[in-house]
């Protein structure tokens, strides 16, 4: 085959370097533990090693790979490290990585059915498979988004579209008949909900944060009181978010009671299960999802706790017609016969993105490569490890558990005997977290619960084993003995 001289690099180069990269990836996954989990790079250190101007002449793939190894890798925080416990850990899995290679090679833009029928139809199929795994009823429709933040913003936009007589789509927010729209979340709801409200012109002041009870779930009486007060004042409650697995302490909002209030006051109920929602595939955890079937929309993130590489968020709704009404816009240059005949779905109509990656392919690889049983077994094991770590914390005279362990995340802190001043404990725990993270052996993060600096150990990487959390526990105890706090 003759190449255009000004075309792509020779395929012989692709073959040679491609094989090297596959070997590199396999070695990396085999040896991730040799790297510090948290990058030890200082601000600006990576940039200072890179030229200020782009290369004038072509450079060889070998020299690019060498710089990748020498300059880029030291600036990587290793999410694939089995001792990554910060935020919510995730996984670049073997099937996911392989699928990503194909996704990039095909470089499909799945905006319309005709721009790759397989991309659209595989998305329909994989979203429906995942729906079944999650135990959702037939009428739920899934759309792949880049992240939960986008999914939740789309939910708020759809909820606004559903408000009778508003027509913000055409007239905008400043129109005379638009009342003051109100969104309800809990104090523990992820910040993405507030961001979505900011972007959509609802405004931060119209995001009402309801207090939580001692198990970090939304106080439903406080929700009802707030809604009634707002109605009294002529405001329009239209959206409430319930979270199953909050980001801070993995609390679960009382979804059935929130659903009652949503129904009574004609509000859209969105469930944020970005992390915890994945546990719905585990039969003995299904009870945590009671009431979710009454919601209007739901987000779960396979890129968080279902071994699918970044990024893939699954947005589900029982009202896809409303989502479409909020987002569809068909310029002449995107018309097609199938679209006109209404025989296919064009995913561009269900969100902000026009061009869309073929993300469904990686979820398809993941779901097939592990199977339902394999996925359940892995999530179950992560939850077992969290309970085990929690039992060590509880049995220890120097540590204490700070929240119930509902999923695979443990909230805890050091609380040595004789130190009871909260400010001292906060300083001590912050110093402990920094000390263990600086070792490079583990990476944990923190939150504040009722003012207390709380450490979080979130298990979610497919390669994390019992030996790893044992190492983490030993390291935490050892580093604690080195910390001196003046009080
Ligand atoms: C992580 C998380 C999000 C944000 O997810 P992205 O995909 O990063 O946007 C939203 N809600 C909850 C509960 C989360 O844990």
Q: Which atom of ligand 1 is nearest to the CA of 301?
A: 7
**From CA 68, how far away is CA 466, in angstroms rounded?**
32
Q: Which two tokens stand for residue 355?
A: 């061009």
Q: How far is the CA of 63 from the centre of ligand 1 (A)?
A: 37
Indicate if 380 and 342 belong to the same structural domain.
no
Position 3 pLDDT exceeds 80: no
- Whether a cis peptide bond, with omega within 30° of 0, leads into 311 is yes
Q: Is 55 a domain residue?
A: no
Ligand 1 pocket check for 95: Cβ under 6 Å = no
Ligand 1 pocket check for 89: Cβ under 6 Å = no
Ligand 1 pocket check for 90: Cβ under 6 Å = no
Ligand 1 pocket check for 275: Cβ under 6 Å = yes
Ligand 1 pocket check for 148: Cβ under 6 Å = yes
How does pLDDT run across 320-349, given as a tens digit for each residue?
A: 999 999 999 988 888 888 888 888 999 999
CA distances from 392 to 323, 348, 405, 442 (A): 47, 49, 13, 17
CATH code of the domain covering residue 386: 3.90.1150.170
Q: Is 49 a domain residue?
A: no
Tell me the best of 145, 148, 247 to mutate to test the pocket of ligand 1, counting ligand atoms within 8 Å of each CB and taking the most: 148
For residues 360 and 144, is the Cβ–Cβ distance under 8 A?
yes
Mark which of 357, 388, 418 sits at the end of a domain.
Answer: 357
Per-residue confidence band for 59, with pLDDT thresholds at 50, 70 and 90: very high
Q: Is 44 a domain residue?
A: no
Per-residue confidence band for 267, with pLDDT thresholds at 50, 70 and 90: very high
**From CA 160, how far away is CA 448, in angstroms rounded?**
32
Report the share of the chain in percent with pLDDT over 70.
Answer: 99
Position 487 pLDDT exceeds 60: no
How does pLDDT run across 416-447, given as a tens digit for each residue?
A: 999 999 999 999 999 999 999 999 999 999 99
Q: Is 46 a domain residue?
A: no
Ligand 1 pocket check for 243: Cβ under 6 Å = yes
**What is the chain's mean pLDDT, rounded?**
96
Name the 3-class secondary structure at 401: strand
Tell me the best of 79, 144, 149, 199 to mutate to test the pocket of ligand 1, counting ligand atoms within 8 Å of each CB and taking the most: 149
How does pLDDT run across 451-466, given as a tens digit for each residue?
A: 999 999 999 999 999 9
Q: Which two tokens stand for residue 378?
A: 């892995």
HSE of 478 in the Cβ direction (CA atoms, 13 Å)? 9
Burial of 470 (0-12, 13-18, 19+ CB in 10 A): middle
Position 486 pLDDT exceeds 90: no
**From CA 284, how far away is CA 144, in angstroms rounded?**
27
pTM for the model stands at 0.96
How does pLDDT run across 85-134, given as a tens digit for each residue?
A: 999 999 999 999 999 999 999 999 999 999 999 999 999 999 999 999 99
Indicate if 292 and 167 belong to the same structural domain.
yes
How many domains would you assign to the chain?
Answer: 2
How does pLDDT run across 369-405, given as a tens digit for each residue?
A: 999 999 999 999 999 999 999 999 999 999 999 999 9
Per-residue confidence band for 295, with pLDDT thresholds at 50, 70 and 90: very high
Q: How far is the CA of 114 from the centre of ligand 1 (A)?
A: 32
CATH code of the domain covering residue 146: 3.40.640.10
For residues 423 and 451, is the Cβ–Cβ distance under 8 A?
no
Q: Is 101 a domain residue?
A: no
What is the pLDDT at residue 178? 84
Indicate if 200 and 274 belong to the same structural domain.
yes
Average pLDDT over residues 177-199: 95
Position 79 pLDDT exceeds 70: yes
Rg (CA), the chain: 24
How does pLDDT run across 130-157, given as a tens digit for each residue?
A: 999 999 999 999 999 999 999 999 999 9
Indicate if 15 and 116 belong to the same structural domain.
no
Position 172 pLDDT exceeds 80: yes
Ligand 1 pocket check for 272: Cβ under 6 Å = yes
Ligand 1 pocket check for 269: Cβ under 6 Å = no
Indicate if 141 and 273 belong to the same structural domain.
yes
Q: Which atom of ligand 1 is nearest to the CA of 311?
A: 7
Structural domain of residue 13, as residue ranges?
A: 8-38+77-93+371-487
Ligand 1 pocket check for 83: Cβ under 6 Å = no
């Amino acid at each position: 085959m003759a190449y255009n001289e000004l075309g792509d690099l020779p395929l012989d180069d692709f073959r040679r370097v491609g094989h090297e990269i596959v070997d590199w990836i396999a070695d990396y996954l085999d040896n991730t533990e040799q790297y510090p989990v948290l990058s030890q790079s200082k601000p600006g250190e990576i940039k200072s090693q890179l030229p200020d101007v782009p290369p004038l002449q072509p450079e060889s793939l070998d020299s690019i790979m060498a710089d990748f190894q020498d300059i880029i890798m030291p600036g990587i925080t290793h999410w694939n490290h089995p001792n990554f416990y910060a935020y919510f850990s995730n996984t670049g899995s073997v099937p996911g990585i392989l699928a990503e290679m194909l996704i990039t090679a095909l470089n499909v833009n799945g905006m319309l059915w005709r721009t790759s029928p397989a991309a659209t139809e595989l998305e329909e199929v994989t979203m429906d498979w995942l729906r079944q795994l999650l135990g959702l009823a037939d009428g739920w429709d899934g759309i792949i988004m880049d992240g939960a933040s986008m999914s939740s913003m789309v939910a708020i936009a759809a909820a606004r579209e559903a408000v009778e007589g508003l027509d913000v789509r055409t007239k905008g927010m400043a129109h005379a008949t638009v009342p003051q729209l109100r969104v309800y979340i809990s104090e523990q709801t992820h910040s993405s909900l507030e961001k979505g409200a900011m972007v959509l012109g609802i405004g931060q002041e119209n995001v009402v944060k309801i207090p939580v009870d001692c198990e970090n779930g939304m106080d439903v009486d406080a929700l009802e009181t707030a809604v009634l007060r707002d109605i009294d004042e002529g405001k329009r409650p239209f959206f409430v978010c319930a979270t199953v697995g909050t980001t801070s302490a993995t609390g679960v909002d009382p979804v059935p009671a929130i659903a009652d209030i949503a129904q009574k006051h004609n509000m859209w109920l969105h469930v944020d299960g970005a992390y915890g929602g994945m546990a719905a595939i585990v039969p003995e955890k299904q009870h945590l999802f009671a009431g979710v079937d009454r919601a209007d929309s739901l987000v779960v993130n396979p890129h968080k706790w279902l071994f699918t590489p970044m990024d893939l968020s699954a947005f589900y709704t029982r009202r896809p017609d409303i989502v479409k009404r909020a987002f569809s816009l068909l310029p002449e240059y995107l018309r097609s016969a199938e679209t006109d005949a209404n025989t296919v779905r064009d995913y561009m109509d269900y969100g902000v993105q026009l061009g869309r990656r073929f993300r469904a392919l990686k979820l398809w690889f993941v779901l097939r490569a592990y199977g339902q049983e394999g996925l359940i077994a892995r999530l179950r094991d992560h939850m077992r490890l969290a309970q085990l770590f929690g039992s060590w914390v509880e049995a220890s005279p120097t540590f204490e558990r700070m929240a119930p362990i509902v999923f695979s995340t443990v909230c805890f802190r050091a609380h040595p005997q004789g130190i009871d001043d909260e400010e001292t404990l906060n300083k001590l725990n912050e110093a402990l977290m920094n000390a263990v993270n600086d070792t490079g052996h583990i990476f944990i993060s923190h939150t504040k619960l009722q003012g207390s600096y709380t450490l979080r150990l979130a298990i979610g990487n497919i390669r994390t084993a019992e030996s790893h959390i044992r190492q983490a526990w030993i390291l935490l105890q050892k580093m604690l003995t080195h910390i001196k706090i003046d009080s």
